Amino acid sequence: MKFNSLRGMQDIIPEESHFWQHIEENARGLLELHNYHEIRTPILEQAELFLRSIGEDTDIVEKEMYIFNDKKGRRIALRPEGTASVVRAYIQNSLFNNPSPQKFYYIGPMFRYERPQKGRFRQFHQIGVECFGITAPSVEAELIWILKQFFEKLNLKNLTYEINSLGCKKCRPLYKENLFKFLNNMIINLCNDCQRRFGKNPLRVLDCKVSGCREVLKDVPFMIDFLCNDCKAHFSAFQNELDGYGINYFINPKIVRGLDYYTGTVFEVTTTMLGAQNAIAAGGRYDELVEYFGGPSTPAAGFAIGMERLVELSKDNLSIEPKRPLVYVAYAGKGVDREVKRVISELRKEGFIVERAYEEVSLKNQLKKADKLRVEWVIIVGEEEIKRALYKWKRMREGTQGEASLEEIIKLLRVSI
Ligand code: HAM
């Protein structure tokens, strides 16, 4: 019997996982410098959490959620994103009682039943960040600043920072009315998907990539021209903040995002290097979500980075090698097992990566194996060596060799790395 992983779900094998580790370590380091703290929420949640926050008429909820009934018939979902879960955890754990702002990050798998293609998977991973408690646009500007620093650290080039404002409950209804009127006159010229979206969630029509729809949308009204004074002031202050960081951005009035919880600022970081799946990070404000879920009224903003896309983009720019063993400890003769174990564990305690033979093989074969593993050092533990408390060492690449006590060998190893 032979099994394969499910469509759209991939293994991250060691040849790739060192990129992932490098990216994750960098992300943690950078986020912790900005006083963000890790939060880990369950992968399974009540489906209702996502239906209510992301929105019933969004693609994610309509078509892409992994939902099942548990043994008691409760509707459970594999999380398609992290924001709703963090909001739930923020309320459930009364984290609003802690000093504001509360700043969280998470790294983990998300699940969406999408049609898999380059850069789009059914199980994918996000590095996500959520900040609760601050209304000022300095929060979302700093979020973009964090993204910029992170991408620069990973040597990513040619990224575009696109921003927009989706208004608030005061100004959005008037905009929606205008959008509705506009689209109503054009309906027969829209693609089937857009005709469906029009009835349910007309904002999503702006997102359509079909060329016929793009033509129809040439003169579509944009939210940005309907912002109330508060939203206008916020958006303009946000841009001043970005200027203060020296970030180049452009306003893309067509960004509507695929999740309903956003209010005000939204943004996407895009690349031309990944074909159709061009967003590597996206986020924005969601000032109403905490209250909507029964928490105290709390402004919030965040983003999530798609890790698969990030790895794809950055692996050619990063010269990081998977970790290799530094030392191979070989044995020679019988009755040396105890000492071999001691030498190996002393070396590992010192932090050196050590490999060894697990089965009985000749010294010659052990040396061959060490050579294949491209280790730098071989240390041979034999009966004679044990008696004298001196071990043979070989530097494989330099071809030098000698004898030394374990303490001396440890010193030599330290100097060599
Ligand atoms: P999102 O735009 O749905 O936002 O996803 C964020 C990023 O996750 C995308 O820009 C993309 O890089 C990656 N991504 C999404 N779907 C897939 C997929 N099927 N395969 C591979 N990568 C994917 C959110 O999830 C929001 N929770 C972001 C946020 C946090 N907003 C506020 N706080």
**Mean pLDDT, the chain cut into blocks of 10 residues (417 residues total):** 97 94 97 98 98 90 94 97 98 98 98 94 98 98 98 93 96 94 90 86 85 88 96 98 98 90 97 87 98 98 98 87 92 92 97 95 96 96 90 94 96 92
Handedness of CA 342, 343, 347, 348 (dihedral sign): negative
What distance, in Å, lies between the first and last C-alpha atoms of the chain?
A: 46
Residue 417 alpha carbon to ligand 1 centre in Å: 40
Q: Decide whether any atom of ligand 1 lies within 6 Å of the 280 Cβ.
A: yes
How far is 367 from 203, CA to CA, in rounded Å?
66
Q: For the CA atoms of the chain, what is the radius of gyration?
A: 28
Q: Which residue has the tokens 């530094």?
A: 326
Residue nearest to atom 22 of ligand 1 (CA): 306
How far is 163 from 231, CA to CA, in rounded Å?
14
How far is 236 from 234, CA to CA, in rounded Å?
5
Q: How many angstroms separate the Cα of 252 from the Cα of each of 162, 206, 276, 371, 413?
A: 6, 11, 17, 56, 55
Four-point Cα dihedral 33, 288, 284, 241, nearest 10: -70
- Residue 80 CA: nearest ligand 1 atom is 25
Q: Decide whether any atom of ligand 1 lies within 6 Å of the 36 Cβ.
A: no
How far is 414 from 352, CA to CA, in rounded Å?
9
> How is residue 135 written in tokens?
């209304």
Among residues 282, 283, 313, the alpha carbon closest in space to that of 157 is found at 313
Residue 334 alpha carbon to ligand 1 centre in Å: 58
| C-beta atoms surrounding 279 within 10 Å | 19
| C-beta atoms surrounding 13 within 10 Å | 7
Q: What phi and psi, each to the nearest 5 degrees, are found at residue 139?
A: -65, -55
How far is 228 from 234, CA to CA, in rounded Å?
10
How far is 103 from 267, CA to CA, in rounded Å?
19
How is residue 73 annotated by DSSP? Answer: -
Residue 37 alpha carbon to ligand 1 centre in Å: 20
Residues 6+ apart with CB under 8 A from 236: none
How far is 151 from 273, CA to CA, in rounded Å?
14
User: What is the model's pLDDT at position 414?
Assistant: 95
Pair 156, 28: CB distance under 8 Å:
no
Q: Decide whether any atom of ligand 1 lies within 6 Å of the 311 Cβ.
A: no
Residue 402 alpha carbon to ligand 1 centre in Å: 56
Residue 93 alpha carbon to ligand 1 centre in Å: 25
Q: Which residue has the tokens 């912790």?
A: 32
How far is 273 from 134, CA to CA, in rounded Å?
35
Q: Decide whether any atom of ligand 1 lies within 6 Å of the 130 Cβ.
A: yes
- Residue 112 CA: nearest ligand 1 atom is 19
Q: Decide whether any atom of ligand 1 lies within 6 Å of the 281 Cβ.
A: yes
Q: What is the pTM of this model?
A: 0.94
Residue nearest to atom 20 of ligand 1 (CA): 120
- Residue 114 CA: nearest ligand 1 atom is 19
Q: Decide whether any atom of ligand 1 lies within 6 Å of the 105 Cβ.
A: no
Residue 309 alpha carbon to ligand 1 centre in Å: 10
Residue nearest to atom 21 of ligand 1 (CA): 120
Pair 328, 377: CB distance under 8 Å:
yes
Residue of 10, 63, 81 to mutate, ligand 1, most atoms within 8 A of C-beta: 81
What's the full length of the chain, in residues?
A: 417
- Residue 268 CA: nearest ligand 1 atom is 10
Residue nearest to atom 6 of ligand 1 (CA): 304
- Residue 130 CA: nearest ligand 1 atom is 33
User: What is the model's pLDDT at position 250?
Assistant: 96
Residue of 85, 87, 124, 129 to mutate, ligand 1, most atoms within 8 A of C-beta: 124
Q: Decide whether any atom of ligand 1 lies within 6 Å of the 308 Cβ.
A: yes
Q: Which residues of 74-89 are buried (b: 16+ CB within 10 A; e: fewer)?
A: eeebbbbbbbbbbbbb
> How is residue 229 written in tokens?
């004074």
